[in-house]
Amino acid sequence: MKKDVMFELQDVCKIYRMKGVETHALRGATLQIRKGEYVALLGPSGSGKSTLMHIMGCLDTPTKGRVFVEGREISKLSDDDLAKIRREKIGFVFQAYNLIQGLTAAENVALPMRFSGYGRGDAQKKAKELLKKVGLENRMDHKPNELSGGEQQRVAIARSLVNDPDVILADEPTGNLDTRSGKEIFELLENLHKKTGKTIIVVTHDINLAKRAHREIRIKDGTVTN
């Protein structure tokens, strides 16, 4: 495997079993994403793109097939080993922001750093720096319910960056936002890619937004079509 490969999926299948009924979310997906790429995962609703992102993001493991993150196979790793990879290498941005309601913006951003063993002071300092970078210097002590959708997503982006990961995985990051806020979030991700060279993978079903990425990977019925 080449050294510059960030993710490699070989014939990955994912089957969910619910009350005896099997749902095939992925049916032999194969793809490769290099380090530093800005990729859009494109596909209609229910095509399996979020499942693919969860598997690449070590939130889930495949039923069949092999998944490599920087050359390390993750299919059979324990929960804690997967959590360590998520913590160190991957930053997540979710459609529904997924911020913890009881914590302030700065505390939410600091959380992954606290999980990495940093003290409250160091983590809060770094969180505040990142919140400044995403334009939320005046909203640091606000709780999620006191922020707009666009602001919450900015907090989520700051949180995804706090442990300085190699990859940002964004699952429909503009799905809950109005057009203007959505555009701002995309610009933020683009700038991030330009300035840091991090691998950025954005899941979306918006073709116009997907075109702004350097490469499109199209998913349909659980398989990669291009």
Partner 1 sequence: MLDLALKDLKEHKVRTILTALGIFIAITAIVSLGSISTGVNELVTSSTGLIGSDTIFVMKHFDFSEITAGPPQDMIGEIDADAVSEISSISGVKRAVPVIARAFMGFFEVDGLDMDAVDMFGAQDIEFKEGWWPENDEKGAVLGYLPASMLDVAVGDYIELNKKEVEVFGIFEEGSGAYDLVILMPYDYADEIYETEGGATQLMVEPEDISMVTEIKQIIEDEYDDLDAMTMEDALSMMEEITGTLNIMTFGIGFVASLVAAIGIIITMYTSVLERRRQIGIMKAVGALRRTILIQILQEGLLLSVVSSLVAVAISFFFVEMLNNILLGGINLAVITPALAIGAIAYGIGLTVISSLYPAWIAVKTDPIKAIREG
Applying CB under 8 A, which residues contact partner 1?
Answer: 54, 59-60, 79-80, 83-84, 86-88, 92, 94, 96, 98-103, 111-112, 114-116, 120, 159, 163
CB 113 within 8 A of CB 121: no
User: Which of residues 114 and 218 has its CB atom nearest to partner 1 in the complex?
Assistant: 114
User: Which of residues 29 and 113 has its CB atom nearest to partner 1 in the complex?
Assistant: 113
- DSSP symbol at 218: E
Minimum CB–partner distance for residue 79 and partner 1 (Å): 6
**Range list of β-strands (E), the chain:** 5-18, 21-34, 38-42, 64-69, 72-73, 90-93, 167-171, 199-204, 215-220, 223-224
User: Which of residues 83 and 212 has its CB atom nearest to partner 1 in the complex?
Assistant: 83
* Residues with Cβ within 8 Å of residue 135, at least 6 apart in sequence: 154
Q: Sort 120 into a burial class: Cβ within 10 Å, 0-12 / 13-18 / 19+.
A: exposed
Q: Which residues face 218 on adjacent strands? A: 42
Minimum CB–partner distance for residue 84 and partner 1 (Å): 7
User: Which of residues 29 and 213 has its CB atom nearest to partner 1 in the complex?
Assistant: 29
Minimum CB–partner distance for residue 116 and partner 1 (Å): 7
Q: What's the rounded Cα separation, in Å, for the pair 35 and 10?
A: 17
User: Which of residues 20 and 102 has its CB atom nearest to partner 1 in the complex?
Assistant: 102
Minimum CB–partner distance for residue 33 and partner 1 (Å): 20
Minimum CB–partner distance for residue 63 and partner 1 (Å): 14
